[in-house]
Amino acid sequence: MRLRAVQSVVSIIASHGQVKPHRQRSLAAQARLSRQRIEKIRAAIGATDYLCSGTLYEHLSRCGKAGCRCAEDPAARHGPYYDWGHMQAGKLVRRRLSAAQALLMRQAIANYRKVKKLLRDWETETERLIEAEAPRDP
């Protein structure tokens, strides 16, 4: 009975003192993994070419001429036309794009969303890295 009491006191002291050796290894491994993940994120962000926020709108329109078929037949409408909408200084700005520009803009918007996700992942890994390199005091 007395041996168990001594062992429990020793384990309490050990848990409130310095970090146990097996915990140090796991923290070091966690730090190494976080650094590797951050390097992959950096590489992915660095490889990104086009980057734009906003939304790409594709639409058909009617011209308004009385004799034009587009007024009555939806299949005969003019277009497609491409508009890019994004926020600038707190206001929605729309700009007309050509078909070639729309293809590039679609990729730029997809890249922007991907980079935002990568930045959130980078933040998560940074939190893990800080916790592994400088753990909280018990």
Residues sharing a CB contact under 8 Å with residue 56, sequence separation 6 or more, in sequence order: 82, 83, 84, 97, 102, 105, 106, 109
Instruction: Give the pTM.
Output: 0.71
21 domain residue, yes or no = no
pLDDT digits over 9-25, tens only? Answer: 444 444 444 444 445 55
100 domain residue, yes or no = yes
For the chain, what is the mean pLDDT?
84
**Which has more pLDDT, 89 or 4?**
89
Give the chain's domain count.
Answer: 1
**Which has more pLDDT, 14 or 49?**
49
9 domain residue, yes or no = no
What counts of helices (H) and strands (E) characterise the chain? Answer: 3, 3
83 domain residue, yes or no = yes
Q: Provide the residue range defining the domain that includes 122.
A: 28-133
19 domain residue, yes or no = no
50 domain residue, yes or no = yes
Find how far residue 90's CA is from the centre of its chain.
22
Q: What is the CA radius of gyration of the chain?
A: 29
Q: Name the band, by pLDDT with cuts 50, 70 and 90, for residue 90.
A: very high
57 domain residue, yes or no = yes
55 domain residue, yes or no = yes
